[in-house]
Amino acid sequence: MKQLGTGEMIRFVRDGFLKLEGLLPGDLCDAFRAAYVADCTDDRSGRARLPVVPWGTPLTDAFDGNDVLSRVFSLPELAGAIHSLLGPKCKVDHHVMHIREPNQGVSQHLHCDAMIDAREAAFDVQIMIYPQNMTREMGGTLVIPGSHTRKAGETSIARYQNLAGQVQLTGPAGTVLILHHNLWHAGRRNASNSVRAMYKMRLNPTGSQTGHWDMSDYDAAKARAPKPLHSPATCKHDVQAKLSFFHPWADARSAHLDIIQRTRLWRLLSGDEDFSVHHFLSRLENEPA
Amino acid sequence: MRQKLLILYLQNSALDSPVVGWTRYDGDTVAPPVSGDEDEPPYATGLDALRDGWRAIQFSALEPQPGELNYQPGWQSFEVIMEKIVETPR
Q: How far is A252 from chain B (nearest CA, A)?
A: 6
Q: Where in chain A is the domain with CATH 2.60.120.620?
A: 6-204
B73 touches chain A (CB under 8 A): yes
Q: What is the CATH code for A6-204?
A: 2.60.120.620
- Model confidence over B20-50: pLDDT tens digits? 999 999 998 888 899 999 999 999 999 999 9
pLDDT of residue A10: 97
pLDDT tier, A18 (very low <50, low <70, confident <90, very high otherwise)? very high
Pick the residue with more confidence: A255 or A105? A255
Q: State the complex-level ipTM.
A: 0.92
Q: Is A254–B77 a contact, with Cβ atoms under 8 angstroms apart?
A: yes
pLDDT at residue A278 tops 90: no
Strand order across the A175-180 sheet: A17-20, A175-180, A125-130, A196-204, A91-100
Average pLDDT over residues A111-125: 88
Q: What residue segments make up the domains of chain B, in order of their start?
A: 2-86
Average pLDDT over residues A72-83: 97
pLDDT at A159 over 60: yes
pLDDT given at position A289? 83
Touching check for A122 and chain B: CB below 8 Å? no
Cβ atoms within 10 Å of A40's Cβ, excluding its own? 19
A233 contacts A271 by C-beta, under 8 angstroms: no
φ/ψ of A205, rounded to 5, equals -75, 160
Mean of the per-residue pLDDT values for chain A? 93
**Does residue B90 register a pLDDT over 60?**
no
Nearest chain A residue to B38 by CA: give it: A162
Per-residue pLDDT at A91: 98
**Residues β-bridged to residue A127:** A178, A201
- Portion of chain A with pLDDT greater than 70, in percent: 100
Question: Side chain identity at A112, as an amino acid letter?
Answer: C
